[in-house]
Structure 1
C-alpha cells in the first residue's frame, strides 16, 4: 500500500472509512491529527511549569531563591543531557520526564523522601497541557463509528 498524504480531514476520513473495512485495527497520530493545541509551540507549556516550581520553592523557603528562568534552564539542561545520553544507546533521543524532572526537583528542593512533589509537578504540567488540547470533532465521530464496528484504534 502506498502512503497517501492528506491536507484536510474530510478526504482523510473518507479514505480511512473506505479502506478500514479490510482491517481490525486503525491507527493514526494523536497530535496534529486527533488533537490540536491551541498554542503554536508546545514548549510554551514548560515556562508555566517552571513558574509553578519557582513559586513552590519560594513558599517552602528553600534557602535559595529560584526564578522561573533558572528553573527553566535547569529543566532544559537536564532534558538535553538525557536526550544526548539516550541518543548514544537508542535511535529516538527521547527523554524520560520523571527522570529529568526528578533531577530538577532534587536540585531545587533537595532530596525528597517520596515522589509526592514530582507527582504534583507532573499533575500540574498535565493539567496545563490538557487545557490547550482540543479534539477534532470529525475524528472523534469517526472513532465512535470505528468502535461501533468493533475496530481497535
Structure 2
C-alpha cells in the first residue's frame, strides 16, 4: 500500500525535524508536490529545502506556487522573499511586509516563523539573506 501525499508530507517533516539532510528530503518533497501539486505547505517546504541547498531559482518557482495557492501563508512568503534575495530579484519588500502583517495577526504564526528562521540559521549559519529577513521581521 502506498502512502498518501499527506502521510508522506508528515513523514518528511518528522525526518526534517530529526535532522535529516535536505539532500535526502528534496526527492521526497518533489514526489509529494508531483502527486499533490496544489499542496501549499509541501511546496513551501520544498522551497525551504531548495534554499538550504543554494538553489534559489528552483526555490523561487515553487515558492511562487505556494504563495499563489495560499497568499495568507507567512512562511511561503518568507521563502519567496529569501529566494528572490538569493537570486538578486526585486520585489522582496512586498512579501516581507505581508508576512509581517500575517504574523502580527497570530502569535502562534509569529512563533512558528521565528523557529523556522532560527532553524535555518542553525543549518546554514552563513545565510546572509535569512539574517537580513530576520532583522526585518524581528528587530
**When the two structures are superposed, what TM-score results if normalisation uses the length of structure 2?**
0.26
Larger Rg, first or second structure (1 or 2): 1
Q: Which has the higher helix share?
A: 2
Q: Using CA pairs below 8 Å that are at least 6 residues apart, which structure has the higher relative contact order?
A: 1
User: Scaled by the length of structure 1, what TM-score is found?
Assistant: 0.25
